[in-house]
């Protein structure tokens, strides 16, 4: 039943979005602590191009960073080398979502004057030219305003549980 | 040859286990296998196995080839030197050495990525490698009884027993 619901949501995505390219199955993951990547079974011959966005049933998971004829590598939003332009849903303040290297992200460059609540949702702003605007990408899981830093330390959990992704939809950038 | 193939199969299984069952920080089971192999079968064989196992990891990563090759082969080299200079080997010494070599491996891989690739891990929180070292130490304790790294089969073979 769960697989059915997941696949139904992906199917819905394919009919709702004009930037939909294809759906792919996750065939492998990086086994080390250094990278947060997935490998999918669709590549250049299926119309996939570098920097296209991969989206699962609950939200974006990453973008295409390596491309082969029959497969591609997706760098997840939780990878340390991943950055996504986002905005807070309520205040519309923009920031950068950077991967932490495990199963969470940091929201950077939010001033201490801005009030951010735990549970607040984050949307992609589209300003990076890669992720389409308006995708619900994560929610605030912890906020720290200690120290003499200019910006708050905001921890973000992705909407999609990245450890359980089995299929992704690829969207045009 | 058989033992090399068997241990390569173990390394492949270890990588699969790491990617499937661990969310967040993962133990370095391949490092444990490389150290066990070097302890059991000798320094040269351990370095060769470490090179091949490291190559397997670097290829699966898809970026540059070399960081894990260097990390794992150095770990195999060092653990054998340590073993040759200690009178006894037990689970406590084994675990302590695995902890030290895990840190050496992480530093070597980090330096290789910083200098030879375009990716940077300098912003990675310190808790991830610390958790990795702890998990690797736990894995070495659990696997100690099964893999028996204290039993030096290379020494037995050389002396003709």
Q: How confident is the model over A106-122, as pLDDT tens digits?
A: 999 999 989 999 999 99
Residue B159 located in a structural domain: no
pLDDT computed for residue A12 by the predictor: 75
* Rounded Cα distance, B73 and B69, in Å: 6
Chain B residues in contact with A109 by the CB 8 A cut-off are: none
**What's the CATH code of the domain at B145?**
1.10.1760.20
- Report yes or no on B37 lying in a domain: yes
Tell me which residue of A154, A128, A139, A161 sits closest to A53, measured CA to CA.
A128
Q: Answer whether A2-78+162-171 and A83-158 agree in fold.
A: yes
pLDDT for B51 equals 94
Residue A156 tokens, joined: 């973000």
The whole-chain average pLDDT of chain A stands at: 90
Given a contact cutoff of 8 angstroms between Cβ atoms, the answer to whether A150 and A113 are in contact is no
**Which segments of chain B have a pLDDT < 70?**
149-161
Tell me the pLDDT tens digit for each residue of A34-64.
889 999 999 999 999 999 999 998 899 999 9
**Mind telling me how many Å the CA of B60 is from chain A's nearest CA?**
7
A83 touches chain B (CB under 8 A): no
Residue A73 near residue B63, CB atoms below 8 Å? no
Tell me which residue in A30, A98, A163 faces B60 most closely, judged by beta carbons.
A30
Domain boundaries, chain A: 2-78+162-171, 83-158
How many contacts, defined by CB atoms under 8 Å, are there between A and B?
Answer: 58
Residue of A nearest to B119 (CA): A81
Q: Read off the pLDDT of each residue in A10-22 and give the average, rounded to a whole number.
A: 78
Residues of A in contact with B68 (CB under 8 A): 32
Classify residue B71: in a domain, yes or no.
Answer: yes
CATH number for domain A83-158, candidates 3.30.70.980, 2.40.10.350, 2.120.10.30, 3.40.50.12780: 2.40.10.350
CATH class of A2-78+162-171: mainly beta
Let me know if residue B79 belongs to a domain. Answer: yes
pLDDT (tens digit per residue) in A134-165? 999 999 999 998 878 889 999 999 999 998 89
- Print the domain residue range for B107: 2-152
Provide the pLDDT for residue B153: 64
Q: What is the pTM of this model?
A: 0.84
B32 within a domain of the structure (yes/no): yes
For residue A163, which residues of chain B lie inside 8 Å, CB to CB? 23
Cβ of A34 within 8 Å of Cβ of B15? The answer is no
- Say if B132 is an interface residue toward chain A (CB within 8 Å): yes
* Residue B59 in domain: yes
Q: Which helix (H) or strand (E) holds B97?
A: helix B91-116
Give the model confidence (pLDDT) of B53-70 as tens digits.
999 999 887 788 999 999
Distances (CA, A) of B62 to A10, A35, A39, B59, B150: 28, 10, 10, 5, 35
Domain annotation covers residue B158: no
pLDDT at site B152: 65
Decide if B123 touches A, using CB distance below 8 A.
yes
Of B15, B121, B123, the CB nearest to A34: B121
Q: Is residue B117 part of a domain?
A: yes
């Amino acid at each position: 039943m769960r697989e059915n619901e997941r696949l139904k949501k992906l199917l819905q995505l394919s009919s709702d979005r004009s930037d939909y390219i294809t759906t792919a199955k996750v065939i492998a993951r990086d086994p080390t602590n250094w990278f947060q990547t997935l490998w999918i079974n669709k590549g250049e011959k299926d119309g996939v191009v570098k920097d296209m966005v991969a989206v699962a049933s609950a939200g974006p998971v990453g973008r295409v960073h390596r491309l082969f004829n029959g497969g591609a590598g997706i760098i997840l939003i939780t990878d340390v080398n991943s950055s996504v332009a986002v905005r807070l849903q309520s205040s519309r303040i923009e920031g950068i979502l950077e991967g932490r290297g495990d199963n969470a992200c940091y929201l950077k460059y939010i001033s201490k004057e801005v009030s951010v609540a735990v549970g607040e949702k984050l949307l992609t702003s589209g300003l990076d030219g890669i992720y389409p605007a308006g995708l619900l990408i994560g929610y605030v899981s912890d906020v720290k305003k200690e120290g003499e830093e200019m910006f708050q330390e905001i921890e973000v959990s992705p909407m999609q549980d990245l450890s359980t992704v089995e299929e992704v939809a690829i969207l045009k950038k | 040859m058989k033992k090399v193939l068997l241990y390569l199969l173990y390394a492949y299984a270890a990588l699969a286990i790491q990617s499937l069952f661990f969310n967040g920080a993962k133990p370095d089971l391949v490092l444990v296998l490389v150290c066990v192999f070097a302890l059991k079968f000798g320094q040269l064989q351990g370095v060769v196995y470490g090179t091949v196992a490291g190559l397997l990891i670097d290829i699966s990563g898809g970026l540059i080839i070399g960081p894990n090759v260097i990390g794992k082969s150095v770990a195999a080299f060092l653990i054998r030197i340590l073993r040759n200079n200690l009178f006894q080997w037990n689970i406590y010494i084994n675990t302590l050495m695995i902890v030290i070599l895990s840190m050496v491996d992480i530093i070597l891989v980090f330096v290789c990525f910083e200098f030879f690739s375009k990716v940077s891990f300098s912003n990675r929180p310190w808790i991830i490698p610390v958790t990795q070292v702890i998990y690797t130490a736990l894995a070495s304790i659990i696997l100690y009884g099964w893999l028996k790294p204290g039993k030096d089969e290379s020494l037995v073979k050389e002396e003709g027993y």
